[in-house]
A = this chain, B = another copy of it.
């Protein structure tokens, strides 16, 4: 089975300095996972072309199927993501006709002149496809290199999400792994995380490698720990995905009930 690895770059000094909470990372991590990609890492970096280009180069060497970047496409002096993408790929930034038309029309509709800062947004790495921005002014960028698709989107969440849902996700559905994901979330009251650990380990030992189980301790009462247990399994076959996830859940519940006096409830089941 081909594995479709994905990496996310959320760029911007305001992100690394913690002046905003990085919801772009969780949004994209979730969407890519549900499309069947294996998200390996998320990297946030300050607005420095050399730093961004250096880490793009490192990740490109891992030959992921896709890298998605957010941020740094706007008109200001520190919006230099595409310069870094071009640098990492040894490509030139060129005025992209499509992107130029998008920018031109945006400012025409707003009755504003085309300044140097605005035209800058239409410079994309050679060979890129411009992605229209239905909300803001900066176009996005889709670029295919040898092993990897690089998608660059703006950092403003509303713009990024609108572009992702209207254009990127449909494109990825047709070329991506198109896996079905089955997810189950259980709430377990009365067993500590470290007591659950060997049970999980045991079940994983006999499960297919795509099974993912993770415990998250929640705030419980003294002597009454609460654990949320997340079970995920993905498969090309929808029924198979659901079947295995439910099987793992049942194994898990039986294994806990055999050893502990625990209350177990299902919080959610993302199963078709």
Contacts and interface: CB of A to CB of B under 8 A. Distances in A.
Interface in A216-248: 216-217, 219, 223, 230
A197 interface: yes
B18 A21 contact: no
A198 interface: yes
Interface stretch (A8-16, A88-96, A139-147, A167-175): A8-16
Nearest to A43: B43
A36 B221 CA distance: 39
A29 to B, nearest CB: 3
Interface in A127-154: 136-137
A250 interface: no
A42 to B, nearest CB: 4
A49 to B, nearest CB: 13
A214 interface: yes
A262 interface: no
Contacts of A8: 16
25 contacts: A14-B230, A15-B42, A16-B29, A17-B29, A19-B30, A19-B230, A21-B23, A22-B25, A40-B45, A41-B46, A41-B51, A41-B55, A42-B42, A58-B58, A74-B193, A74-B197, A74-B217, A76-B214, A77-B200, A77-B201, A78-B214, A110-B223, A116-B198, A118-B194, A137-B194
Interface of A: 8, 13-23, 25-31, 33, 39-46, 51, 55, 58, 74-78, 110, 112, 115-118, 136-137, 156, 158, 192-198, 200-201, 204, 212, 214-217, 219, 223, 230
Given A17-B30, A74-B193, A75-B194, 10 more contacts: A8-B16, A14-B230, A16-B41, A18-B26, A19-B230, A21-B26, A39-B46, A41-B55, A43-B43, A112-B195
